[in-house]
Structure 1
Amino acid sequence: MSISLSSLILLPIWINMSQIQQGGPDEKEKTTALKDLLSRIDLDELMKKDEPPLDFPDTLEGFEYAFNEKGQLRHIKTGEPFVFNYREDLHRWNQKRYEALGEIITKYVYDLLEKDCNLKKIFIPVDATESEPKSFIFMSEDALTNPQKLMVLIHGSGVVRAGQWARKLIINEDLDSGTQIPFIKRAMDEGYGVIVLNPNENCIEVEKPKTHVQSSSDSSDEPVEKRERKDKVFKETKKRRDFYEKYRNPQREKEMMQLYIRENGSPEEHTVYVWDHFIAKSAAENVFFVAHSYGGLAFVELMIQREADVKSKVTAVALTDSVHNVWHQEAGKTIREWMRENCCNWVSSSEPLDTSVESMLPDCPRVSAATLQHAEKRIPLGEEPPSIDPFFEGFNLLWFPPAFGGSPMPSDSCMLYFVQSLSLLPVGGLTDCQSKNPQCSIYF
């Protein structure tokens, strides 16, 4: 049976409390004082003293992991998937290890975007000085010059960065499941320009400067005795502070502070900035958005701030488990009407893929993503491997609609909202998709 160091520290206090609780008023006062002391002790912080050092590798090889030919993260020696509970009963340490691996994977995905997808990294703000904090996005060579169509990808909130849908899926499933790379490659193959936003890269972290406590000895004008008394108090205070710091931060973790990136301090700011400086200036007549989770909220905020511009340039928006709320965001009637005609939101549901899901909000149609897992909503999941056909079939309907001699309505996916936006069918009509696929129950 193992006893943690924190338990050993608290044991004498508990023993003393049990002993003095039997005494008179003086002992009760001591009990009160000891209880007050215990209330000030942060057990979580004390538990840090039992941790191994938070010293983790900075490469996948250092972690002894690598991505195999299927894009799965596997241990180099055993071939096993990633194990979170590397050390039992050390959840905080395991979490820190997971986060360290996640940072390496973020850089790995950045590298894939440049080398495997041939995207360019573009630093922002565009007029940033050499010394100020910067973020970046990725775009294809023809993102600003493609005269026909441009696809914009926006991920959700949290630790994910450009090129990712879900870190959890990258680590536990594979790169195709957790990254935007399949979307990017498919889009480029079909002639789209591509811009990949990076809405969570809002600041840089730097070590917090240590505050300098001036010693009283620096005051040479004071009498010697007064300086000596001040020095004694200063040393005792420093000793107590150092003792507290030893328990507050036993791992000697660096105190960090955040420096926000100009005009990109939030996902909403970032989305508007990229619109103003890149998307709005692109040559594409048709812009298509794919936005996951908080990315949907960021898009709605973009609409609120740039309504006329967005309406004139954006053709369709595919949302996946978007957390936007047209009421809380105070989206006007004209925005809600535009969203009903040009957007669709795949949401958590056990219903078959593309089955209509009721919504209490008067915005875009909601359809089933055929999964209950939020992280998997980056694409409609109705089969294995995950299919991204529904998005592109819908986008292509807008580009080459059947009414103008294009390809026929896809039978395996119901992209009614794209058809509706073209007014190919009257409201209340039955989609051609449904007539070919009886399982599809979506109506206008």
Structure 2
Amino acid sequence: MLFAPELAPLDPATSPYGLATPAHLALLRKFGLGFLPTGQMVHPHPDSIPAWLLEECPGLRDPVALSKSMPKVDLEALAPVAAPGPDAPPLASLTLELGSPFTFDVFGGRHGENQARYEQIGDVVALHVEWLLMLPPFGLTLGTVPLPGKVPVSAFLDASPRELELLRSRIYFSPNYATCERLVVLIQGKGAVRPGQWARSLIMNDNMEAGAIFPYLREIFARGLGVIVLNPNNNHVEFPGAKRLPIPGSENAIAHTLYVWENFIRPAACSSIDFVVHSFGGVCAVELLAKIEHRRDFKRINQVLFTDSFHDDDVLPRSTRVWLSKNSVNFAASTLPAGTKIGRPSEGALQVSAGHPRHEYSSCKAMSMVMACLMDKAQFRQQFERR
């Protein structure tokens, strides 16, 4: 688990490509992840780094001293990082030294050590993806939950002033999100995935295009839409002394979604809001719908597009189910060809095959259908009404 972010976030306006220390580069070369663009020292806390990693990259023991003693490397001069294009090779081929796909078992079948290594690399992947969100061609802006000055009173009970400063969850949005006509809200599933990821396992084992939201961002921006990327799984911060505090406004995935709606999305000027949500992100979306459906701002929601959602229509209020039956599609994991109607209950989301039987592939395989529905809901749904 990554330690609390002690430093201010990267400002892409003043450091568009950022700087990294040789220790960063060595670590990322080892795991074939390219370069981590960062204008600050963002390391795992030494207490959370496994011994094997410290032995291989001892500079991680003291990142502050490392940043002062070692020359910084200009990433743009070495290898500028940008989101892969449509014909980009898989992530594994970006390796500078290994030249081979990710291997899980490197400890002779000792699952605990292999899993610890996998999780540690996953944390590096998460940071890597988040920095790419802020770089060209995407240029997303980093926001925090809670907003300064909008911290729930309950948070002051157990946290010191310094700890309160660090109790923040990161979200990302396009520069035009507050003024655009149409806004797309992206919510990932539950677990280790962080902003910018649909499926961490696909990023690490297949390629960035399959597991990250980058293809969606390119399509959304090409159509002139705004976007906001949520971070529902970052709910606590670890502090020294085994102290673990909840992030105010992001205590759990649903609380995070509600906070972002009230403090970021609701005040925005957009007249039309579309949700694209994966897995447990569907639960977050329908919980939001159920809570606000009798409010005026509910009318701004155009539709919810699920990719193999975990939500249960049957537990929702009937009025929410009726709304979903007219304004939502669930692109579900299925062995049926992509775009095949699986069925639709009398109330609830239209069910359509995503074109792949595995849950984690549903977002990448259904993207063309999601975008078609996003741009013309009536026309997309009409083809299924006739069946």
TM-score by length of 1: 0.63
**Alignment match, 1:124:** 145
Is residue 2:264 matched to residue 1:283? no
Matched pairs, number: 296
* Structure with the larger RCO, 1 or 2 (CA within 8 Å, 6+ apart): 2
**Alignment match, 1:308:** 294
Given residue 312 of structure 2, which amino acid in structure 1 is its aligned partner?
N
Is residue 2:110 matched to residue 1:90? yes
**Alignment match, 2:370:** 391
**Equivalent position SS for 2:325:** helix
Given residue 203 of structure 1, which amino acid in structure 2 is its aligned partner?
H
Change (3 A) 1:124 1:130: farther
Q: How does 1:222-241 map to 2 (within 5 A)?
A: none
Are 2:335 and 2:355, in contact at CA under 8 Å, matched by a contact in 1?
yes
Given residue 73 of structure 1, which amino acid in structure 2 is its aligned partner?
A
Are 1:58 and 1:104, in contact at CA under 8 Å, matched by a contact in 2?
no
Are 1:355 and 1:442, in contact at CA under 8 Å, matched by a contact in 2?
no
Match of 2:212 among 166, 171, 179: 179
The CA distance in 1 between the partners of 2:144 and 2:108, in whole Å, is 42
Deviations 1:151-192 (A, max 9, x none): 110000010001100000001111111011111121112110
Q: How far 1:282 sits from its partner (Å)?
A: 1.1
Given residue 355 of structure 1, which amino acid in structure 2 is its aligned partner?
T
Are 2:31 and 2:121, in contact at CA under 8 Å, matched by a contact in 1?
no
Identity of paired residues, percent? 29
Q: How does 1:2-401 map to 2 (within 5 A)?
A: 60-61=27-28, 63-67=30-34, 70-74=89-93, 75-116=95-136, 117-126=138-147, 127=149, 128=151, 131-132=163-164, 133-146=167-180, 148-207=181-240, 209=241, 256-309=242-295, 311-328=298-315, 331-358=316-343, 362-381=347-366, 388-398=367-377
**Equivalent position SS for 1:302:** helix
Change (3 A) 1:78 1:134: closer
Unmatched 5+ stretches in structure 2: 1-22, 35-83, 152-160
The CA distance in 1 between the partners of 2:24 and 2:223, in whole Å, is 37
Cα-Cα RMSD = 2.1
Are 2:33 and 2:125, in contact at CA under 8 Å, matched by a contact in 1?
no
Deviations 1:100-137 (A, max 9, x none): 10000000001000013100000111125764111121
Are 1:339 and 1:363, in contact at CA under 8 Å, matched by a contact in 2?
yes
Unmatched 5+ stretches in structure 1: 1-56, 210-255, 382-387, 402-408, 410-414, 420-430, 432-440
Deviations 1:314-336 (A, max 9, x none): 111110110111333xx211111
Are 1:150 and 1:194, in contact at CA under 8 Å, matched by a contact in 2?
yes
The CA distance in 1 between the partners of 2:162 and 2:177, in whole Å, is 25
Are 2:211 and 2:364, in contact at CA under 8 Å, matched by a contact in 1?
no
**Equivalent position SS for 2:347:** coil
The CA distance in 1 between the partners of 2:300 and 2:342, in whole Å, is 28
Moved over 2 A (4+): 57-64, 66-71, 73-78, 127-131, 308-311, 358-362, 441-444
Q: How far 1:360 sits from its partner (Å)?
A: 5.9
Are 1:354 and 1:442, in contact at CA under 8 Å, matched by a contact in 2?
no
Are 2:338 and 2:355, in contact at CA under 8 Å, matched by a contact in 1?
yes
Are 1:58 and 1:100, in contact at CA under 8 Å, matched by a contact in 2?
no
Q: How far 1:66 sits from its partner (Å)?
A: 2.9
The CA distance in 1 between the partners of 2:287 and 2:300, in whole Å, is 16
The CA distance in 1 between the partners of 2:318 and 2:199, in whole Å, is 33
Are 1:199 and 1:268, in contact at CA under 8 Å, matched by a contact in 2?
yes
**Equivalent position SS for 2:312:** coil
